[in-house]
Chain A
Amino acid sequence: MSGRVIETSGLKRDFGNFTAVDKVTFNVERGELFGLLGPNGAGKTTLLKLLTGQLEPTSGSCHVLGLDPAKDSIGVKSKIGIVPEIESPPSFLTGKEYLQFVGLVRDIKDIEKKADHWIEYMDMKEVQNTPCKDLSKGTRQKLVVAAALIHEPPLVFLDEPFAGLDPHYQKLLKEYLRGYLEKGGTIFMCTHILEIAEKICTRIGIISTGKIVALGTPGELERAGESLDSVFMRFTENSEASK
C-alpha cells in the first residue's frame, strides 16, 4: 500500500451554476498535517465534504485510505474521524452520553473507559451530565473534537477545529495533534488561523474560488522573510478583488 492516504484527480463540484470546487488535484501522504487555507467561500468545507463522503462530486475522483467516498461513504466514515465546521452534537444527550453513543455506533471496545478519558482530557467533568444543547460553544467544540478522535482513526479531517476554543484548549489540542502525528496519524485541516497553520502544518494548500492556487510546505511557499500571512494575501488577493 502506498503512503498516500488522500488522492484527488480533477475533483469538481457544482451547485447549479456555481462551481464550489474546480478540478482540484492533490495528494496527502501518511503522517502529514495538511492545512487547507482559503478565504471565506473559497471551497474549503465543500472540498472536505467531498473527501469525507458527505457530498458527491460532479466530476473527477478521489480516494481516501484506498476507498472512493462517493461510492462507499460509510466505509470511509468508518475509518476516519471528522470535526465538522458547525458543532452540532445531539441536543438532549449529555456530553458523556454523546461520546458513549459514538462508541456504540462505531462499535468501540471499552467505550466507558475511553469516554471517561476524553471527558477528563478535555476537562469536561463538571459538565459531563449536562445536555449538549445547554453546553457553551467552546465545550461543544471540545466534545465534537473528542467524538472525532475517540476511535483513534488513522486519518482525521478537521474543519476549523480551533474555533471557539480558548488559548488553553487550543494549546492542548495542538499538543494532542502533534502526538497523534508522531504515532503515524494523518490530518487534513481547514483553517483560517494562519498562525496555527504556519506552526503545525507540514504542508499547505491554498484554495481560492474553488481552485488550489498554491501547494507546498510553509518553507516552499514563503519567499525570503515573508510570513504566511503575506503568502496567503499574495495568492488570494486577485481572486478576492475579482469578487
Chain B
Amino acid sequence: MNRTKRNLKIVRLMLSEERRLNAGMIGKVQFMMFPVLIFFMSFVLALSSKQLLKSMPMDQVYLVLHSIILIYGLGVGGFALFGERIAQKRFGEVTMLLETPTIHPIDFRSMFLSFYVKDIIYYMLYSIIPLTAGIGLTIPLTGFKLASVLFLLLTITMTFLLGISFSFFLSSMYVRWKAVFGGIVIAVLGAILIGFFTKAYDFAGYIPSIALQRTGDPLYLLLAAVLIIFFSTVAVMTIKVRFGKTVEKFPEEILPTAKRFTFAREYSAFMAKDWIDLIRSKTLMPVVGAYIGPLAFLAVLFWFLGSVLTLPLHFNLIFYAGMIGFFGVSIYGWLNLLDTTLFYEVLPVRVTQIVKTKLLLFTVLAIAMSTAFLIALGILQSEWEMLWISLIVAYSTTAYTVTSTAYLTGLRTNSYLFDPKTLGKFAAVVIPPLIVLTILSLYYTNDRLFSSAAILAISGLLALMTVAFYRRIEKRWDRESFMF
C-alpha cells in the first residue's frame, strides 16, 4: 500500500474513532443534536433574511458569519497545545489511534497529518456543511441563487481552514518557540487594534476568504489556499508531542469534602467523591455549559426573532423555567459519565445509593444554576413579578424530569435513552407536562389568576409524581449490578 493510500485509510479509521468516541461520551442523540441545531438555526435565519437585511447590510451579515467561522476554526485548531492530551486520552482511559507511533513503525508526523485532515473533515461535516445546507434548503422559498450558496460554502470553508490552520500554526510555535509565538500574536493583535481604532484600514479586508466573498476575485482564493498550506505545513513539520503521562498530584480532599457534605448523611462520602471527580476531570464547566448553554441559546434566538426580526413572539420567564427542567437531564447524564462505577461492585454499596447520590449532587448544581439563570433573565426581560412562580416551576419540573430519568435509566442514562422503548417512556412521562406548562406560560399575561392557579396545581402534581418516582427507584435498581 502506498503512503497516500495508507494515510487516507488512517483518516477513515480516525473518523470512525472520533464518531464512536463522541457518541459514546455524550450519547448518540446529543451527538447528532449539534449539526441538527446548526442546520435549523441557519434555516430559520435564511428564511428571515428579508427582515434581517432591513436592519443589517449584506456585507455586515457576511462579516459576522465569517468572523464566527474564523473564531470557530481558531478555537478547534490548537492541536499542538493539547497534543499530549488528545494523543493519550480523552475522558478516561481511551487509547487513540494517534498513539500508534509509540508501538508501531509509523512516524508521528504522518499520523498527526492524518489526524489534522480527519479533524477538518469532521468539523466540516459537523458544522460547516449543515450550516450551508440550512441556507440551501430555503432556496425555493427565498429565491437565493444556488451558485451564491455554493460560493458561500467555498468562502466560509476557506475562512474555517484559515482559522484552523493558523491556530494549529500558532500552537506549534507556542510549544517550540514561545518568543516567535509572542511576536506573531502581538503583530496580529496590533494590526487588528490599529485598524479598528484609526479606521485607517479594514483589517477584515486583508483576510483572503472575506476579500474573496466581497470581490469574487479568484486571486484571493489562491492566496487563501497558499496561506492554509503554509500554516499547515509549518505546523505539521514543527509539532512536538511528548508521549508519556503528565501526572498531576492532588492534596487529600476526600475526608474534608465528605465533612462539607454531611447534610447528605449516608450519601456524603459518595457525594464527596463525585464532587472531586467533577472538579479534577474538568467536567464542571461542560456540565454548566450543557445546562445553561441551550437555555442561553433559546433566549438569544427568541430575542433575535422578537427584537431584531420584530416577529410577534415573546416567551416569558415561566416558559424558560419549564425548559430548565428538560435540560436538567443532560446534567444527570454527565454525572453518570464522570467515572467508572466498577469498583463499587466489591464494596457494600447498592446501585440505588449511587443513583440517589447523583440526584443529590444534581439538585445542588441545578438549584444554584437555575436560580441564577432565572434571576438574570428576569432582570433582562423585566419580569420580576414572575420570578416566584418561575422558580416553583423550575424546581418542580427539574425534580420531576430528572427523578423520572433516574428511575428509567439508573446509572446508564445515555445508553438507555438510546433504547427506543425507554426513550418512548421518557417522552411519554416528560413531554405532556412540558407542553401544558408552555401553553399556560403563553396564556399567563391574558389571565394571571387562572394561569397561576393551574401552573401551581401542575407543579404540585409534578412534586407528588417526583416522590413516587423517587420511591420506585429503590425497587427498580436495587438488585442491579455495577457491571455493564
Q: Please list the residues of chain A having a beta carbon within 8 angstroms of any beta carbon in chain B.
A: 52, 54-56, 74-75, 77-78, 82-84, 86, 88-94, 96-97, 100-102, 104-106, 111-112, 129-131, 133-134, 144, 148
Contact across chains for B252 and A54 when beta carbons are under 8 A apart: no
Candidates A56, A96, A105, A134; contact of B347 at CB < 8 Å? A105
**Chain A residues with CB under 8 A of B252:** 94, 96-97, 100, 129
Looking at the assembled complex, report how far the CB atom of A107 sits from the nearest CB atom of chain B, in whole angstroms. Answer: 9
A130 vs B276: C-alpha distance in the bound complex, in angstroms? Answer: 14
Cβ of B445 under 8 Å from chain A: no
Q: Judging by beta carbons under 8 Å apart, are A105 and B254 in contact?
A: no
B258 on the A face (CB < 8 A): yes
CB nearest neighbor in A for B342 = A88
Q: Which residue of A lies closest to B345 (CB)?
A: A54
* Bound Cα distance from A94 to B251, whole angstroms: 9
Q: Residues of B at under 8 Å CB distance from A?
A: 92-93, 245, 247-255, 258, 268-270, 272-273, 276-277, 280-281, 338-340, 342-343, 345-350, 479, 481, 483
B interface: dominant SS: loop
B342 adjacent to A77 (CB under 8 Å)? no
Task: Given contact pairs A89-B343, A100-B254, enumerate 20 new A-B contacts (beta carbons under 8 Å).
Answer: A56-B479, A74-B350, A82-B346, A88-B340, A90-B339, A90-B343, A91-B93, A91-B281, A92-B280, A92-B281, A92-B338, A96-B252, A97-B253, A104-B254, A104-B268, A105-B347, A106-B347, A129-B252, A130-B248, A130-B249
Residue of B nearest to A81 (CB): B346
Contact B343 A88 (CB under 8 A): yes
- If A88-B340, A92-B280 touch, whether A148 touches B249 (CB-CB below 8 Å) is no
- 24 cross-chain CB contacts under 8 A: A54-B481, A74-B350, A75-B348, A78-B348, A84-B342, A89-B343, A92-B276, A92-B339, A93-B273, A93-B277, A94-B250, A97-B276, A101-B272, A102-B347, A104-B268, A104-B272, A105-B270, A111-B255, A112-B255, A130-B247, A131-B248, A131-B280, A134-B247, A134-B248
- Of chain A, the residue at the smallest CB distance from B92 is A91
**Given A90-B340, A92-B339, A97-B252, A148 contacting B281 (CB threshold 8 A):** no
Asked whether A101 and B254 contact (CB < 8 A) given A52-B346, A91-B277, the answer is: yes
Chain B residues within 8 Å of A100, by CB: 252, 254-255
Question: Please, how many angstroms separate the alpha-carbon atoms of A196 and B411 in the complex?
Answer: 39
- The residues of B that contact A94 with a CB separation of less than 8 Å are 249-250, 252
Contacts A94-B250, A129-B252 given: A148-B346 contact, CB under 8 Å? yes
Give the top 5 A-B pairs by smallest Cβ distance, nearest first.
A104-B269, A82-B346, A77-B348, A97-B254, A92-B280
Contacts of A86 in B (CB 8 A): 342
Contacts of A133 in B (CB 8 A): 92-93
Q: A100-B252, A104-B258, A131-B250 are in contact. Are A90 and B348 (CB under 8 A)?
A: no
Q: What B residues does A82 contact at CB under 8 A?
A: 346
Is the pair B346, A90 in contact by a Cβ cutoff of 8 Å? no
Residue numbers in B under 8 Å from A104 (CB-CB) = 254-255, 258, 268-269, 272
Least Cβ–Cβ distance between B102 and chain A, in angstroms: 16
**Which residues in B have their C-beta under 8 angstroms from that of A56?**
479
Interface centre among A54, A56, A105, A130 (most CB of B within 10 A): A105
Instruction: With both chains docked as a complex, state the minimum distance between the C-beta of B460 and any C-beta of chain A, in angstroms.
Output: 36
Residues of A within 8 A of B255 (CB): 100, 104, 111-112
Residue of B nearest to A86 (CB): B342
Chain A residues near B270 (CB, 8 Å)? 105
